[in-house]
Amino acid sequence: MPDNPTAPVILGNEPGSFPHGVLAERHPAIIRQVREAFPYEPRQQRALDALLANCTEGEVEPLPADAHDRELWEAWGMDAHAGRSWYDVPWLWSESWFYRRLLDAVGYFGPGPWQGIDPFRPSKLAELHSPATDEELAALDDLAARPAQEQARALLHGSLWGNRADLSFRLSAEGAEETTPVPGLVADDSERLWSLLEAAGGGTLCLVADNAGRELVPDLLLVAHLLAHGRIGRAVLHVKPHPYYVSDATPADVVDALRRLTDAGGAAAGYGRGLWTALSEGRLTLRAHPFSCSPLPYDRMPDDLRADFAPAAVTLVKGDLNYRRLVGDRHWPPTTPFADVTAHFPGPVAALRTLKSDVITGLAPETEAALVAAEGQRWRTGGTHALIQVRA
């Protein structure tokens, strides 16, 4: 990332900061969870111990010479960061590096019997098949009786809030929070999003997915609705090529979610069958580009990925991590215009995101002031606020 004195890159070396807590506390906890999820062999146990020591107290060590993606990581800054503390390199980079090394430790890239075994799959499936997911899918039966516009609005909010999707179906409550001093939705360009889709006349929607499980399901429901009602003619779903950030969606997670829908019965099954058919007919396409697991912002995306996004009527970027990559993982002043920090993106782009990290742009001054007055800086990371931002 180029130097920007008004918005420095976020590092993890400030004790007490949110990024420092992720590196010092969350990553060790993830190692423990992964260790407990599978009966890993002694070699993997030793590798996990080594990763724990390295990520908390050591320095960045380059990938082995025979690593299948060494050249990619060299291009993504591995050699420049080698020998430095994980806390002193860009936080976005060190987070991504952690997951790359974690997959190495458990033998994901092989060769060997553990090759291709997703270390996060048990938690993904547990969430996908939870009673809460049953309740959310059952709510689709009531939603099906609503006018198409109301369905679209509810499904958009379901996609926005992810695993709080149950709130999105309470249409009678919509707008109530707008009268509160600090609304849950701190920026709302949803009407601009609908206008973009209307103007596209059945064009292509790119959706850059975030998490699997109960967060991927509402994303798929939104795509299914838009396809079924002719709001878009085609959808391209960008997912991760391999496990990443614990719960990020991979192609296997998409298949799991579709099966969950089709097995659910009722309206949910109808959505699932529609998506299954759309995939088989090419109206829904999966992409799993290597850059999706890179430690860089989207202004560094390669030309082939840029060409994927360019012709879309709109690219919908989901979730907190993708937002950080879209606008740049920097200490932006919150009132920095969203259009300015996304000018690099090839085509219209929209962000749907709950706030779970420090990065924020595009707030009205009075909104920022109300948030700070009510919550200090906790509103940035607690996941209790969200935004819909559009740059046409």
- Using one digit for the tens of pLDDT, what is the confidence trace for 106-144? 999 999 999 999 999 999 999 999 998 998 899 999 999
77 forms beta bridges with none
If pLDDT is split at 50, 70 and 90, which confidence band does 198 have?
A: confident
Cβ-count burial of 29 within 10 angstroms (0-12 exposed, 13-18 middle, 19+ buried)? exposed
Residues 6+ apart with CB under 8 A from 43: 107
Q: Is the pLDDT of residue 162 over 90?
A: no
If pLDDT is split at 50, 70 and 90, which confidence band does 201 have?
A: confident
CB 350 within 8 A of CB 314: yes
DSSP labels for 3-40? --TTSPBPBS-STTSHHHHIIIIIHHHHHHHHHHHS--
**What is the rounded distance in angstroms from the CA atom of residue 113 to the CA atom of residue 197?**
46
Q: Is the pLDDT of residue 5 over 90?
A: no
Q: Is the pLDDT of residue 177 over 70?
A: no
- Using one digit for the tens of pLDDT, what is the confidence trace for 333-392? 999 999 999 999 999 999 999 999 999 999 999 999 999 999 999 999 988 999 999 999
Cβ-count burial of 187 within 10 angstroms (0-12 exposed, 13-18 middle, 19+ buried)? buried
If pLDDT is split at 50, 70 and 90, which confidence band does 180 have?
A: low
Three-state secondary structure call for residue 107: coil
Which has the minimum average pLDDT: 195-209, 312-326, 342-356?
Answer: 195-209
**What is the rounded distance in angstroms from the CA atom of residue 186 to the CA atom of residue 368?**
9
**How many Å separate Cα 56 from the centre of its chain?**
25
